[in-house]
Amino acid sequence: MDALKYEELDRLVSELDCESLRDEPLSKHTNFKIGGPAARLITVFNDRALSGILRGLAHIELPYFVLGRGSNLLVGDKGYPGVALKLEFTYGGIMQDGVTLYAGAGMSLNGACAYAKEESLTGLEFAWQIPGSVGGAVYMNAGAYGGEMKDVITRVWYMDTEGRLLDATGDELGFGYRRSAFMEGGRIITQAEFKLAPGNKEEIAAKMKELKDRRLEKQPYDMPSAGSTFKRPKTGYAAALIEQCGLKGRRVGGAQVSEKHAGFIVNTGGATCKDVLELMEIVRETVLKETGTELEPEVRVIGEN
């Protein structure tokens, strides 16, 4: 039955001029460098194609998820039994109207930050060197150093599961700590509107350099990871609690609590999803037992083990 479904999907992909890879290892597309294959990895280049693919997936009844740039993703060792979607081309561009930027969901967040700097627009400095795409950053309300996407995002365009292009503003965006309304309902972000402010290019560049230097000094950018493994708890900081419990450097297989920053679990080489999940559970159980604080994962886990 699944073979027939994928034959139908392959015909649709060809008709819509998308690109498709069969049984593509997701370890090649995630910052963690971990994960088995997706049955299909489909790259979509415009709204017409995305609408057609979403309507087709609903009709064929195949599961899907948006891969983005794979920066906050842990994929199961057996892979994902469905379709991984990537947005490229028109989704990777940016336009400007005064202090307003319109960035495609497939654009890198760093690309949007660099554009804002070149146009002397301030407000996005906090996001410099946060890995991932604009769509992914909006999806999880990414933030750092006192700023979050909710501070600069005023409108989001998205495609619903029926392939309709819609938009959301204000409370409809559902922003909270590391969450947004787009985490439910299968909607796919296609574009985001940023409201920034006039600034001084040299001052913006200096702030971005300062934050980059702080990240490089404190965080293990030289090793594969999915960024911060756990969300900030209501009291204290995850990294401090993990280090307090003597877990810095703790290993399971190729996965390790970073010796540089305890808030990161890194792939030291050959780590599996199973290794990472086992280590995450050790960290959660130990921190809960010794401090009474329950840590909640920030990394998104999909697929099968």
Residue positions annotated with a catalytic role: 178, 228, 298
Cα–Cα distance for residue pair 105/93, rounded to 1 Å: 9
Distances (CA, A) of 290 to 232, 284, 299: 17, 10, 23
Q: Helix axis angle, 47-60 relative to 2-15, nearest 10°? A: 160
- Of the candidates 159, 150, 31, 140, the one whose C-alpha atom is nearest the C-alpha of residue 90 is 159
Query: Are residues 279 and 292 in contact, defined by beta-carbon separation less than 8 angstroms?
Result: no
Residue type, 112: A
State the DSSP string of 179-217: B-GGGSTT-EEEEEEEE-EE--HHHHHHHHHHHHHHHHH
Cα–Cα distance for residue pair 214/305, rounded to 1 Å: 36
Q: In the chain, where do the E strands start and end? A: 19-25, 37-44, 64-66, 73-75, 80-87, 94-97, 100-104, 121-122, 143-144, 147-148, 153-159, 165-169, 188-195, 197-198, 225-228, 251-252, 255-257, 264-267, 300-302
Query: Are residues 126 and 138 in contact, defined by beta-carbon separation less than 8 angstroms?
Result: no
Residue in this structure with the two tokens 């599996």, named with its chain if needed: 272
Scanning 140-192, the segments in alpha helix (DSSP H) are none
